[in-house]
Amino acid sequence: MLLPLRMIAATLASAIALANAAGQASAQSADTGPLFVAELGNDSVGIVDLPNRKLISRIPGLNEPQGVAYEHTSDMLYVANAGDGSVRSFEGSDYKTTGRIELGNDADNIRVDAAAKRIFVGYGSGALAVIDPSTRSKVGDISLEACPMPGASRSSTAFRKSRSEHGRWPIGVQIFRWPWTTFVARSS
């Protein structure tokens, strides 16, 4: 379940102390596990035990972590780093580093598509990297007109199988939102 952490940051901060967490954050929780918080301001990911409302661990040494995705079938955590353009993977049981995928620059928005058994990462000035969680490797790209990130002036749709952009449209009013979501409308 993805959580709009920036929208609830004040509530979360008052409910769970994230010592030394600074800057914007994004989060994802495993259905029955911890909440993973990308702490952009201190180059780390916080691991929060929600039932006990406490920080239980932290993964340091990242480079502007922008997004996190937990892939449950492989029990892996993936972190998109804008500062060096990498996606780093960590074991879900002990958070040990298992790999690094170089995307070039500005790795940002990240989603798990469980049905396709793929992870999609927005990066650069307009692309989605396609990652296979079974091999922890990049298996393709989807070129987009613009980078899928907050504040974008347009949005796109892309087909995951053909790995192509399908359509785009302008976005008028700028409000908080991630102009990208993963859903299956039909097989394409």
pLDDT digits (tens, 9 = 90+) for 26-76: 566 656 678 888 888 889 999 888 888 888 999 999 999 988 999 989 999
Listed range (59-63, 76-80, 176-180) with the worst mean pLDDT:
176-180
In degrees, to the nearest 5, what angle opens at C-alpha 177 toward C-alphas 54 and 120? 80
pTM of the model: 0.74
Q: Is 182 within a domain?
A: no
Q: Is 186 within a domain?
A: no
Q: Is 187 within a domain?
A: no
- Can you tell me the distance from the alpha carbon of 7 to that of 54, in angstroms, rounded to the nearest whole number? 20
94-144 pLDDT, tens digit per residue, is 999 999 999 988 898 898 988 889 999 988 877 889 999 999 999 998 887
Q: Where are the alpha helices (DSSP H) in the chain?
A: 9-15
The per-residue pLDDT for 152 is: 53
* CATH code, domain with 160: 2.130.10.10
Domain count, the chain: 1
Residues of the domain holding 107: 2-170
Is 5 exposed, middle or buried, given 0-12, 13-18 or 19+ CB atoms closer than 10 A?
A: middle
Q: Is 180 within a domain?
A: no
Beta bridge partners of 111: 120
- Helix and strand element counts for the chain (H, E): 1, 15
Matching residue, tokens 């996190």: 68
The per-residue pLDDT for 29 is: 60
